[in-house]
Amino acid sequence: MLQCLSAKRYSSIKLLINVWNCECLYKNIRNIHNVGLEDIPKITVTNIRKILRQKGFAVQDGFTSLISKCTLCSGEEKTSGSKIYINKATGYFLCPKCNIHGNWNILERLLKKTKGEAFIKEIRETSHKDFEKVQNDWQGVVNETISLSKLNETEMLDLCRLFEYPYHPETNKILADVRISPDHTILYFPLKNTLDNIVGYRKVQAGKEDESEHYGLHTAGLYSCKAPKVGRSDQAILVPTIQDVLYLAGHKVPGTLIWLTNCSLPPIVLPVLENYQKLCLWGDWDNMRAVAEKLGEDRCRFVRPTDGLVTATEAAIANLSLKTLVSEAKPAAHRSITTFAAIRDDVYAELTNIEKMKGIKWRRFPALTRLLGGHRRGELTVLTGPTGCGKTTLCAEMSLDLAQQGVNTLWGSFEIRNSRLARTMLQQFAGIPLEQNLQDFQKYADDFQKLPIYYLAFHGQQPIKIVMEAWPTRGTATVTRGRTPLSRPSAPSPPQGIATSRSSCTPERNVNRKICLLVQYSAARKRLKKLIMCL
């Protein structure tokens, strides 16, 4: 009876505890619609760069990481060669020299601490112990194995048959860094980081499809090699199997050959590929597309499958030229398509310099400044209107305003003579009727002469070649005064103010072809490529 009561009492207490745990669990569970923005960690490139610069660190923008100096390697800030790589997407950081790595919140905490605090010492000691363990394990492998470079041709041939690797007379040179067990059944591939230090190894056993990796996923290490007698290159070729590496090396394909196990590319190993300007991806399309998104599509190229041959091994067995296929690799990103990430910095620069982007403001025309924003480089402004409405007067006032602010101005007036145009501008500059104040002419003329205003010495019809040769010699702001024909009669005369050119279409017919070029109002000397053609 007592046992029964005890059991019931125990079950009741257990039930109450379970109910209480469920209530606590229910309280901790939040609907996704109730999660505030403050609960989501904000890791952006802008924030990372801002925090680093506030702490006095110079930041270099890489393909996948922000690169800065690591002062945690030792107590001295003058440690050379210590770089820290911070992933742009996740904020995960890594220093290949001291092997300190972790999430962004850890690095942010490290940056706020001083050198003498216990937290930094603990992090440094832990990373040092981990690195020593990796080195000791690899040294143990080296002591118990031999290098493939010491195998003779017969032994190398038997080894390739056992592991089903393609044989090449220089295979032992290609795999010189690889170690083999005394019984020739296990291969050890060293994994190296950006400093070419061995930070792990990959173990492959004969008869087993899967290979085991030791420390590589935690120390940013990849296996890479290069074909013998092939020069250095800024290109790397990423393939999913070691067989692909051997085939590419046997075909003397230039570049560093990198073995990605099953196309796996954890974010921690991205710094190893940071120094390569070009990356060629050869493997399964879907997997390599995901790899290209991590590495940056701008520097990635794909080897397209040819007749269903996806890998380099399949292409080599089909007797295709691997060199040709690599050289014909297509860019991962289309040249005519961009993303917001590519222009994000440009957008930010425009927003932070909004006043500069508006251009030089007209002091005499505040309403025009509000409408157009100002005079900007590379823009075309066309003023149209009937005769006598004041187009030339307005252009003269606008150019005079800019010239007084130091903007070089080039006038091309093909309808009005330069003397008459200069008289109008001088009148506007003086602000008084000079014909009634001739005694002040020299004074205003001397001041007006100091302005950076230039005139094309053309009037009426001129060959286009001569006009274009004289155009870029002066000025950054170009003003052209002309009159376009409203109709096209059978035998028109060249319209005044428009540069024209005549040439016969055929020798048999005396047919003239008239090309009217409406000269641009261009704000830059070099932006003269686009001309409005009126045929």
Q: What is the pLDDT of residues 211-230, one digit of tens each?
A: 677 665 555 788 888 877 66
Domain spans in the chain, listed from the N-terminal domain onward: 45-112, 132-274, 359-534
Which uninterrupted H or E stretch holds 302?
A: strand 300-302
474 pLDDT tier (thresholds 50, 70, 90)? very low
Task: Output the CA torsion 231→233→239→243 (10° steps).
Answer: 0
Question: Residue 457 pLDDT > 70, yes or no?
Answer: yes
- Based on the number of CB atoms within 10 Å of its own CB, is 473 exposed (0-12), middle (13-18) or buried (19 or more)? exposed
Q: What pLDDT score does 429 carry?
A: 87
Question: Residue 210 pLDDT > 70, yes or no?
Answer: no
Give me the chain's average pLDDT, please: 74
Of the listed ranges 349-353, 375-379, 477-481, the least confidently predicted one is 477-481
Question: Residue 495 pLDDT > 70, yes or no?
Answer: no
Q: What pLDDT score does 472 carry?
A: 58
DSSP assignment of 115-182: TTSHHHHHHHHHHHHHHHHHHHHHHHHHHH-EEGGG--HHHHHHHHHHHTPPP-TTHHHHTTT-EE-T
Q: What is the pLDDT of residues 190-209, one digit of tens each?
A: 998 888 888 888 889 887 76
**pTM of model > 0.85:** no
28 pLDDT tier (thresholds 50, 70, 90)? very low
Q: In which order are the strands placed within the sheet that holds 477-481?
A: 453-455, 409-413, 477-481
Q: What pLDDT score does 478 carry?
A: 56
CA distance readout (Å), 433 to 388, 427, 430: 20, 7, 8
Q: What pLDDT score does 215 carry?
A: 63
Q: What is the pLDDT of residues 92-101, one digit of tens each?
A: 888 888 888 8
Residue carrying the six token digits 């899967």: 210
Question: Residue 47 pLDDT > 50, yes or no?
Answer: yes
Name the residue with higher pLDDT: 123 or 524. 123
Q: What is the pLDDT of residues 109-165, one digit of tens each?
A: 887 765 556 777 787 788 788 888 888 888 999 999 999 888 888 988 999 999 889
Distance CA 229, CA 252 (A): 8
The b/e string for 316-339 (b: 16+ C-beta within 10 A; e otherwise) is beeebebeebbeebeebbeeeeee
% the chain with pLDDT above 90: 7
178 pLDDT tier (thresholds 50, 70, 90)? very high
Q: Once rounded to an integer, what is the mean pLDDT over residues 43-67? A: 87
Question: Residue 264 pLDDT > 80, yes or no?
Answer: no
The torsion region of residue 283 among left (phi > 0), alpha (psi -120 to 50) and beta comes to left
Name the residue with higher pLDDT: 479 or 38. 479
Token duo for residue 469: 């040769």
Q: What is the pLDDT of residues 321-347, one digit of tens each?
A: 898 999 888 888 777 777 787 788 778
User: 359-534, which class in CATH?
Assistant: alpha beta
42 pLDDT tier (thresholds 50, 70, 90)? low
CA distance readout (Å), 233 to 277, 314, 316: 9, 25, 23
Q: What is the pLDDT of residues 439-454, one digit of tens each?
A: 888 888 898 888 888 8
